[in-house]
């Protein structure tokens, strides 16, 4: 099947996950895509396919030679609930001329906002119609993986076992919750869920969430002097004492505190923060800074302030640096298809962050798109082809690299 046809078949199935759902998967529509992928894998003659029909995970293995590394590839079937629509209408813009792309609802995709488009003149750009996101995140990644599998199912060449997994609910942070490591016994893996074709990311934030609860002292406002301690006032002071390192003021490898939720009244207030830092030391320092501020305000006002910090994920670089040949595979593979690799930082987390912590080194690769989670989402078909070719070369390089290591 042609890569474009495959991709269009996928995006026409709306598979937005639902952050308010208590089920896994969070939406039944994800089963529709899973069923399609299961049938395609069977038609490709893949050796071993397992469909978790309860939790909506698909695992498959294309057998290779035992002497080579077992390599895995992962993409997610759900799409963001942002800009959701029950109907996705993809539009193909052939021979893109470099100008503003005009869609319905007066939506425009401006190259000034998405500079990567300036390099796509003469190529094919795929968008939705302006009423929804496209769903290239991560159906482009799925299509590229399937295209890679089709290549190896039809061509004889040296490689080890190739494992793939398609997961649900990645967009709401639940895709690894029911992941079966037993069905994915790889030496290393790659998530195919990034941005530009030819990029690789293996350096991401350490992440935690801080939950703060402030118990004020309430009195009637008429007799409040020297008695009332307003929890909202304490909350405001706490926020002002943090360094001015917030998402809107930081970039590249700069960490931050993100105050994303406050609730309450003068008697009681809660505050939630995201804590992010690339450096493990910086990560711990940020947590310590918050603890010191809480202690200082608790002593100053004589009120109870509780702080709970929950770590979410860690920088995969701490694992990848000791297995750097899996990055070198990608750098060589990217050059093999004629483009320069891009090593980028991820100001966030991927499935690979948790998989790396759990024993599967797992960098993230690009898919050839931009504008994700919005009506401005777009993907370049030629870049999808390039990324699929890179995946093929990664498998070949893994066998070659294995021989070098041995």
Average confidence score pLDDT of the chain: 95
DSSP 299-334: HHHT--EEEEEEEEE--THHHHGGGTHHHHHHHHHH
The Cα 234–Cα 398 span in angstroms is: 56
Please tell me the predicted confidence (pLDDT) of residue 229. Answer: 96
pLDDT, one tens digit per residue, over 355-374 is: 999 999 999 999 999 999 99
Please tell me the predicted confidence (pLDDT) of residue 84. Answer: 84
Give mean pLDDT, residues 252-276: 97
Please tell me the predicted confidence (pLDDT) of residue 252. Answer: 94
Please tell me the predicted confidence (pLDDT) of residue 173. Answer: 87
Residue 349 pLDDT level (bands cut at 50, 70, 90):
confident
Catalytic position from the list 81, 161, 169, 170: 170
CA gyration radius, the chain: 24
Residue 402 has pLDDT above 90, yes or no: no
C-alpha angle 288-291-294 in degrees, rounded to nearest 5: 155
Model confidence, pTM: 0.90
Give mean pLDDT, residues 140-150: 98
Give mean pLDDT, residues 220-247: 96
Residue 350 pLDDT level (bands cut at 50, 70, 90):
confident
Residue 1 has pLDDT above 90, yes or no: no
Catalytic position from the list 78, 199, 377, 383: 78
Percent pLDDT > 70 in the chain is 99
pLDDT, one tens digit per residue, over 208-228 is: 999 999 999 999 999 999 999
217: which strand partners? Answer: 229
Catalytic annotation present for 78: yes
Residue 404 has pLDDT above 60, yes or no: no
Please tell me the predicted confidence (pLDDT) of residue 401. Answer: 73
The Cα 384–Cα 53 span in angstroms is: 29
Please tell me the predicted confidence (pLDDT) of residue 328. Answer: 95
User: Tokens at residue 37, please?
Assistant: 């992928």
Residue 284 pLDDT level (bands cut at 50, 70, 90):
very high
Burial status of residue 65 (CB atoms within 10 A of its CB: 0-12, 13-18, 19 or more): exposed
Residue 337 has pLDDT above 60, yes or no: yes
In the block, residue with structure tokens 């919005």 = 374
Please tell me the predicted confidence (pLDDT) of residue 105. Answer: 85
Question: Higher model confidence: residue 110 or residue 83?
Answer: 110
Please tell me the predicted confidence (pLDDT) of residue 403. Answer: 54
Residue 405 pLDDT level (bands cut at 50, 70, 90):
low
For the beta carbon of residue 261, count every other beta carbon within 10 angstroms. Answer: 11
Catalytic annotation present for 170: yes
pLDDT, one tens digit per residue, over 43-73 is: 999 989 999 999 999 999 999 999 999 999 9
């Amino acid at each position: 099947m042609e890569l474009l046809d495959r991709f269009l078949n996928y995006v026409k199935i709306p598979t937005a996950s639902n952050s308010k759902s208590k089920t896994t998967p969070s939406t039944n529509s994800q089963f529709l895509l899973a069923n399609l992928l299961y049938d395609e894998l069977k038609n490709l003659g893949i050796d071993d396919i397992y469909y978790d029909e309860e939790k909506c995970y698909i695992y498959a293995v294309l057998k290779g030679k035992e002497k080579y590394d077992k390599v895995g590839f992962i993409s997610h079937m759900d799409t963001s609930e942002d800009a959701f629509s029950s109907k996705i209408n993809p539009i193909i813009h052939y021979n893109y001329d470099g100008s503003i792309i005009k869609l319905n609802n007066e939506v425009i995709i401006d190259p000034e906002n998405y500079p990567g488009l300036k390099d796509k003149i003469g190529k094919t750009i795929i968008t939705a119609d302006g009423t929804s996101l496209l769903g290239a995140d991560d159906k482009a990644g799925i299509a590229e993986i399937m295209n890679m599998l089709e290549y190896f199912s039809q061509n004889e060449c040296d490689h080890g076992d190739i494992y793939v997994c398609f997961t649900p609910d990645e967009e709401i942070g639940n895709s690894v919750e029911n992941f079966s490591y037993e069905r994915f016994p790889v030496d290393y893996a790659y998530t195919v869920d990034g941005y530009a074709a030819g990029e690789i990311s293996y350096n991401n934030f350490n992440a935690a969430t801080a939950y703060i609860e402030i118990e004020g002292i309430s009195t009637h406002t008429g007799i409040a002097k020297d008695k009332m301690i307003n929890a909202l006032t304490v909350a405001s002071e706490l926020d002002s004492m943090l360094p001015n390192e917030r998402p809107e003021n930081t970039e590249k490898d700069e960490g931050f505190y993100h105050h994303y939720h406050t609730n309450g009244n003068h008697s009681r207030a809660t505050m939630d923060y995201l804590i992010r830092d690339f450096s493990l030391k910086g990560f711990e320092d940020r947590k310590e800074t918050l603890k010191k501020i809480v202690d200082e305000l608790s002593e100053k006002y004589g009120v109870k302030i509780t702080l709970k910090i929950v770590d979410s994920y860690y920088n995969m670089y701490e694992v990848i640096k000791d297995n750097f040949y899996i990055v070198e595979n990608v750098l060589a593979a990217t050059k093999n298809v004629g483009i320069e690799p891009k090593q980028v930082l991820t100001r966030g987390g991927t499935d690979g962050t948790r998989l790396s912590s759990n024993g599967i080194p797992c960098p993230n690769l690009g898919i050839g798109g931009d504008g994700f989670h919005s009506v401005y989402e777009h993907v370049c078909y030629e870049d999808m082809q390039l990324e699929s070719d890179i995946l093929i070369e990664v498998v070949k390089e893994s066998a070659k690299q294995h021989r070098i290591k041995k």
